[in-house]
């Protein structure tokens, strides 16, 4: 309930809005000055009305001031933005916030200066600050399960860790601290006896530091919009410089080698990798495909959803990255043939499983028909590339998208068409990412023109 205090010819209205991270009461204040022509009774009634209105505004988070601590304002920002942010974005921001709050959370937002932010960015670039340290299992998990007569499913129930994560650890992959802790508890062994941290002192990348800057800037920009700040200190702070890295991709010859090597692999992974190469889809877009998205008559593919994973949500369906990512692309005859053969194989698998099949309608699934974990494909591809390191360079699953785009540009496909097929918002995005391919295509065009327009000159030079 609002508190009203009379001060000379005006009234101060005070509303309590809870407590901050230091358990100090947060109060919001406003002043109401009545019209001199109003009667005492009218003033009393209007003051009460103003108090009720102000209290409602405070309850809705519409009243802010620069005295609020960054951590408290960020909490309010997250509350209002939760429904506007993608699940993956919200999870990434939530993971960054504790690190930000530990540095500037105690500061009033109107007292945050560029030097505070620059010092924070410098600290992020130093070693020993990571909160996303991965852990490697030092115990032979296969042997332990065998000695204790436990299956993967049994241990999954006992530890509360998904069976897919246990399989990953058994294969030698690293895991998060939370997963390592749950595994150790399921083993009834101390964490330090079963897992070791990896790359503890590895500094954050300049790109990750930039992401922190952008989150702080977004939060403080909202403070300006809400009237709690006059200007955003991030606008006066030079963000960390990110070294531009050329995307990894395969050239035409290497792509042919990849296709040949895939012939000896299982049809499910072979089809996924080939389709990524022929379409340039993102991993999430590929795994979000349903059979209803394929039109075998017109040879087209509709991309309208993405399949993602978060530890607290599991595998879930989300929208594509942006509105332009919702698109329909033409499939090559090879891609159509691959999908037809794969569909027949999947129907055969479905008959083998029988009643255990889960009808998710997804094209690429587990053996039981459930949506495939995104990391399952990435791990398989990583293992595949390592096994053929003598023939192929070290690339990731996303490199297939870069390969698709690079080959299109090299083949003379207009940039607008490349951007549309990739689902980019505009050609500017495409030209920035694939500047290397555009440069090569430009050089090839110059040579072509030279041969066409000055053939005699070239012959004389020879």
The answer to whether residue 147 is domain-embedded is yes
End residue of a domain, out of 410, 431, 454: 410
Confidence of residue 258 (pLDDT cuts 50, 70, 90): very high
Looking at 410, 431, 448, which one is the last position of a domain? 410
How far is Cα 247 from Cα 433, in angstroms, rounded to an integer? Answer: 7
Task: Say what the pTM is.
Answer: 0.72
- Distance CA(96)–CA(109), nearest Å, equals 18
Number of domains in the chain: 4
Whether residues 114 and 215 share a domain: the answer is yes
Same domain, 7 and 154: no
Q: Which of 37-46, 122-131, 210-219, 233-242 has the lowest mean pLDDT?
A: 122-131
What tokens does 444 get? 């090839």
Q: Is 453 within the bounds of a domain?
A: no
The 3-class SS string of 23-39 reads CCEEEEEEEECCCCCCC
- Which residue range(s) make up the domain with 160? 134-198
CA dihedral 326, 328, 333, 334 (to 10 degrees): 0
Residue 432 lies in a domain: no
Residue 320 sits in the same domain as residue 269: yes
Cα separation, 328 vs 414, in Å, equals 17
Contact 346, 290 (CB under 8 A): no
Mind spelling out the 3-state secondary structure of 398-445? CHHHHHHHHHHHHCCCCHHHHHHHHCCCCHHHHHHHCHHHHHHHHHHH
- The CA distance from 124 to 41, in Å, is 60
Q: Collapsing DSSP states into helix, strand and coil, what is residue 286?
A: helix
Contact by Cβ (8 Å): 109, 61: no
Q: Are 82 and 51 in a shared domain? A: no
- Residue 256 shares a structural domain with residue 116: no
Average pLDDT over residues 104-115: 92
SS3 296: coil
pLDDT value for 131 = 61
10-19, 273-282, 353-362, 450-459: range with highest mean pLDDT? 273-282
Residue 283: is its pLDDT beyond 80?
yes
């Amino acid at each position: 309930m609002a508190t009203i205090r009379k001060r000379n010819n005006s009234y101060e209205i005070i509303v309590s809005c809870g407590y901050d991270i230091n358990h100090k009461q947060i109060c919001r204040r406003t002043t109401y000055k009545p019209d001199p022509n109003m009667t005492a009774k009218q003033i009393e009634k209007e003051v009460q009305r103003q108090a009720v209105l102000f209290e409602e505004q405070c309850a809705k988070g519409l009243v802010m001031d620069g005295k609020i601590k960054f951590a408290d304002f960020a909490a309010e920002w997250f509350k209002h933005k939760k429904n506007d942010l993608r699940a993956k974005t919200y999870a990434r921001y939530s993971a960054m916030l504790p690190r930000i709050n530990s540095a500037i959370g105690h500061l009033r937002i109107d007292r945050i200066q560029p030097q505070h932010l620059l010092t924070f960015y410098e600290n992020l670039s130093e070693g020993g600050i990571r909160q996303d340290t991965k852990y490697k299992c030092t115990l032979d998990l296969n042997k332990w399960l065998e000695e204790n007569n436990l299956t993967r499913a049994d241990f999954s129930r006992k530890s509360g860790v998904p069976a897919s994560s246990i399989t990953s650890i058994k294969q030698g992959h690293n895991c998060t601290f939370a997963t390592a802790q749950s595994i150790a508890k399921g083993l009834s062994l101390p964490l330090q006896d079963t897992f070791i941290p990896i790359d503890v002192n590895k500094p954050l990348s300049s790109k990750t530091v930039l992401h922190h800057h952008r989150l702080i800037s977004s939060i403080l920009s909202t403070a300006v919009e809400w009237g709690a700040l006059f200007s955003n200190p991030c606008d006066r702070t030079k963000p960390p410089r990110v070294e531009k890295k050329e995307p990894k991709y395969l050239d035409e010859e290497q792509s042919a080698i990849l296709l040949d090597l895939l012939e000896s692999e299982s049809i499910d992974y072979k089809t996924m990798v080939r389709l990524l190469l022929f379409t340039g889809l993102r991993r999430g877009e590929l795994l979000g495909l349903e059979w209803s998205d394929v039109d075998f008559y017109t040879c087209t593919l509709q991309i309208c959803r993405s399949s993602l994973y978060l530890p607290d949500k599991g595998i879930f369906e989300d929208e594509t990255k942006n509105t332009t990512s919702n698109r329909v692309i033409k499939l090559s005859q090879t891609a159509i043939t691959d999908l037809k053969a794969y569909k027949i194989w999947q129907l055969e698998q479905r008959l083998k499983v029988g009643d255990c099949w889960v009808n998710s309608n997804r094209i690429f699934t587990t053996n039981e028909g459930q949506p495939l974990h995104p990391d399952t494909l990435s791990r398989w591809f990583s293992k595949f590339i390592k096994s053929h390191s003598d023939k192929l360079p070290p690339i990731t699953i996303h490199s297939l998208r870069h390969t698709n785009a690079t080959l299109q540009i090299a083949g003379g496909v207009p940039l607008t068409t490349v951007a549309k097929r990739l689902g980019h918002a505009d050609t500017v995005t495409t030209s920035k990412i694939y500047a290397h391919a555009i440069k090569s295509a430009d050089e090839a065009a110059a040579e072509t023109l030279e041969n066409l327009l000055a053939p005699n000159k070239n012959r004389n030079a020879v």
